[in-house]
Amino acid sequence: MRRKDRGITDRTEMEAILNEAMVCRIGLADGGEPYIVPLSFGYADGSVYLHSTPEASKNLSGSLKTFRSSRISNQMTFDTSPVPSPAGFDGKKITMIRKNPRCCFEVDFCDQVIRSDKPCSWGMRYRSVIGYGRAAILDDPGEKRHGLNCIMQHYGGGTHEFSDTDIASVTVIRIRIESMTGKKHD
């Protein structure tokens, strides 16, 4: 960090920024292709939680549907029970996490432009955190429920009971934070 006077070393202060931020940007890489995406998130116990809808469900009006036809009765039915999203149906974020779980994340607050007579002397009041870790796609329903509740609590939504159908229809990602740094300008 070039400006050591602006660095945040206190983990409690960095966690306060994580708890107050509204958007988390994650950075992923697949070979030479970087990708950054802004997401809703939750933070708890040294982990960032994110969620994603499996790509297959986006393509089928919000639920995973399979078509069955019966030759005997000429009846057609749709089975709307949840089915796991095969890796081939994942979106870019999930595909990249499956290939390379190493990632970084960033949250920030920028709340005031600091003007000056000289254009190159302008500044910004801000607080930010950048962290590194490994993203894991959660399979365990209990872990998924915990992650979703962390996200709900982050935005003031309290905790909820999620049905098995809800849990099966969402992808929950946990990033265990391995390191993070903070920076601010007051």
114-127 pLDDT per residue, tens = 788 888 877 777 89
Report the phi/psi class of residue 164: left, alpha or beta, with left for phi > 0 and alpha for psi in -120 to 50: alpha
User: What is d(CA 177, CA 105) in angstroms, rounded to the nearest whole number?
Assistant: 9
User: What is d(CA 146, CA 154) in angstroms, rounded to the nearest whole number?
Assistant: 12
Helix (H, G, I), strand (E, B) or coil at 169: coil
> Nearest CA to 27 among 38, 42, 40?
38
pLDDT digits (tens, 9 = 90+) for 10-26: 999 999 999 999 999 99
Residue 131 token pair: 């962290």
The answer to pTM > 0.85 is no
